[in-house]
Amino acid sequence: MNMYSEKTPGDALVLYGQTFASRLLLGTSRYPSPGVLQAAVKLAQPAMLTASLRRQNLQAGDAVPNTFWAMLAELNVPVLPNTAGCHSVQEVITTAHMAREVFGTPWLKLELIGDDYTLQPDTLNLVDAASRLIKDGFQVLPYCTEDLVLCQRLVDVGCQAIMPWAAPIGTGKGPLNPYALRTLRERLDVPMLVDAGLGLPSHACQVMEWGFDGVLLNTAVALAQDPVRMAGAFANAVQAGRAAFLSGVMPEHNSAQPSTPVLGTPFWHQV
Amino acid sequence: MTTPIKVLINGDTFELAASATLADAVALLQLKPPFAAAINLQFIPNTAYHHTLLHDADQIDLIAPVTGG
């Protein structure tokens, strides 16, 4: 169903030395049903699916099978576990190790929340958490703000990619600070995925046009009236934005510039 | 006879034998993979369940995969 299916040869997303065909990462929460999630994933063909860990329902015991786990296995898309809900470095470290054992992967979306109202990352402790996880062998994709110095420090401690937010998680507001995001893109030479706050395919296209390497979405797809179709729309938008970035955009002008040749204009006379 | 211990598992109180291990707790709850465990905010690898003794007032978290963003 992808309307724009042309991909630039050799233009794969590379994270920690691993190549991914898609530049779209998709969250798995808040879909109206597991079937809708499954259909959205099959259409969008994301590079990775995010997942999380929560306390077992002890009353259920083994009576209720983990259907999500079975679905992940069936979809066969690489899983990116997150540390959502962690408020301290120790919580992050423990959750990361539990995730590595359960999901069998060293990949990790590092989330360390500093404020529950905005779900803003704890920028003062994020670098320490990232540093410790990298020393423990994790391939860390930190969810961070667009703060240039914070992102530089994350790269300094070994993050080979970073994931600045566009806006607070689940707001769908799109990039709130284009200047900072574009500055970040110009200053740091690591893969950057815009994570959180995108609401429209045009938001995704916009950040891809600015040179970001990919986007991570969840709510914008899951809460659309037709999540499956929206997943396809985002996949197309990411590809279009990437193609536009690689094409090189025209310089902007303040005055009009006729696109039709002026030479030979009929009825023209000098006044 | 030794006094049983009380531990918190996922926020609920359970009474176990004084010599209980994490493996005993998992068996009691009839949990099956996939899940992972932590005691007092320290990760316990599944290879260590059988020799990890529980203590009174330990806080145990047993967590499983769920959807996430």
- Mean predicted confidence (pLDDT) in A11-23: 95
Q: Is A60 on the interface with B (CB under 8 A)?
A: no
In this structure, what DSSP letter does residue B2 have? P
Instruction: Determine the 3-state secondary structure of B5 from DSSP.
Output: strand
Residue A3 is predicted with a pLDDT of: 43
Q: Express as a percent the part of chain A with pLDDT over 70.
A: 94
Q: How far apart (Å, rounded) are the C-alpha atoms in residues A123 and A115?
A: 10
Q: How high is the pLDDT of residue A7?
A: 54
Q: What angle do CA A226, A145, A168 make, to 5 degrees?
A: 35
Domain B5-63 matching CATH 2.102.10.10: the answer reads no
Top residue of A48, A53, A67, A216 to mutate, by most chain B CBs within 10 Å, is A53
Model confidence at A8, pLDDT cuts 50, 70, 90, reads low
Give the residue extent of every domain in chain B. 5-63
ipTM of this model? 0.95
Report the distance separating Cα B43 and Cα A96, nearest Å. 9
Q: How many CB pairs under 8 A join A and B?
A: 105
Percent helix, strand and coil across chain B, each to the nearest 5: 20, 40, 40
Residues A231-245 have pLDDT tens digits of 999 999 999 999 999
A264, part of any domain: no
Which of the pair, B45 or A6, is modelled with greater confidence?
Answer: B45
Distance from CA of A103 to the nearest CA of B (A): 8
Tokens coding A224: 């659309």
CATH number, residue A140: 3.20.20.70
A191 inside domain: yes
Per-residue pLDDT tens digits for A129-138: 999 999 999 9
Q: Which of A225, A238, A235 is nearest to A31 (CA)?
A: A225
The boundaries of the domain holding residue A45 are: 13-57+65-247
Which pTM was predicted? 0.92
DSSP-based three-state secondary structure for B33: coil
- Residues of B with Cβ-Cβ distance to A99 under 8 angstroms: 36
Cross-strand partners of A194: A215
Decide if pLDDT at A100 tops 70.
yes
